[in-house]
Amino acid sequence: MRAAVLGSPVAHSLSPVLHSAAYAALGLRDWSYGLFECDEEGLAPFLEGLDPADWAGLSLTMPLKRRAMELAVEVTDLATAVGGANTLVRRGSGWAAHNTDVEGIATALTEAGVAAPGSTVVLGAGATAASALAALRELGSAGPVTVLARDTARTREVTAAAERLGRPVEVAPLTEIDRHLDADLVVSTLPSGAADAHAERLAASRADLFDVIYAPWPTTAAEAVAARGGRVVGGFPMLLHQAVAQVRLMTGVEDVPVAAMRAAGEVELERRSAQAGV
């Protein structure tokens, strides 16, 4: 059986390492996991060209998460609520769209002891921000959530997701971050380095930090929060646990080898870090 990750850009993806480690640990010698560059226009023809007998599932990165829902014959309630799917699983003659990012975030936070925060600030308003809102709901957090966006005119999708999830949010400009940091948790979904400009403010707050960046790690913001004793969660645990959920969906195996996947991912990140330092 075959599976793969699709996206654009996608060359940096850790998914092949994580999924391949799971197959090896499970003894699935006839399973393989590939990587393909694919944009929104290319997704439909790519899916049409796959042999249903050979393909079990696909992992999806940006910009394919909404397009995948349009092409699926079945979409889970969670993916619909969030507004994006990062996983396609073969179901008969078509594909079922799932969102495992939510499980990845919720599990990563729980693993670090950050459960059901009373109040949360989310930096950024993209697809990951919407998944973070769903993860907070899964954790039972009923406290207020503020979304701080670099451009508040582009928050329509995350606010719509919040309404579908039953978790309305307050929206404010990221430039007003100083006014909103009296919170239990800050979730940064910003691109690499973008949260570092606010490291001193985050360090001066009482909030724990979940930063979705996994490389390079730790980020300046993460180091600042950790230095004052705050709990810090990085992007790798999220990536790991969303992949664990994907392996479960694609293979049908419930007891997924998390430790083997974690070890393989950490080794690969160390290799990349050393290579970048040369």
**Tokens describing residue 210:** 């979940």
DSSP H helices in the chain: 15-26, 40-48, 65-71, 77-82, 101-111, 127-138, 156-164, 199-204, 220-227, 235-251, 258-277
What kind and span of H or E run contains 34? strand 32-37
φ, ψ for residue 37, nearest 5 deg: -70, 125
Q: Please calculate the CA angle 208-234-220 and round it to the nearest 5 degrees.
A: 75
Mark whether 24 is an active-site residue: no
Bridge partners, residue 90, by sequence = 95
Q: Which residue out of 4, 33, 64, 65 is catalytically annotated? A: 65
In which residue are the tokens 């796959």 written? 50
Q: Please calculate the CA angle 107-112-118 and round it to the nearest 5 degrees.
A: 85
**Tokens describing residue 217:** 């790690």
Which are the catalytic amino acids?
Answer: 65
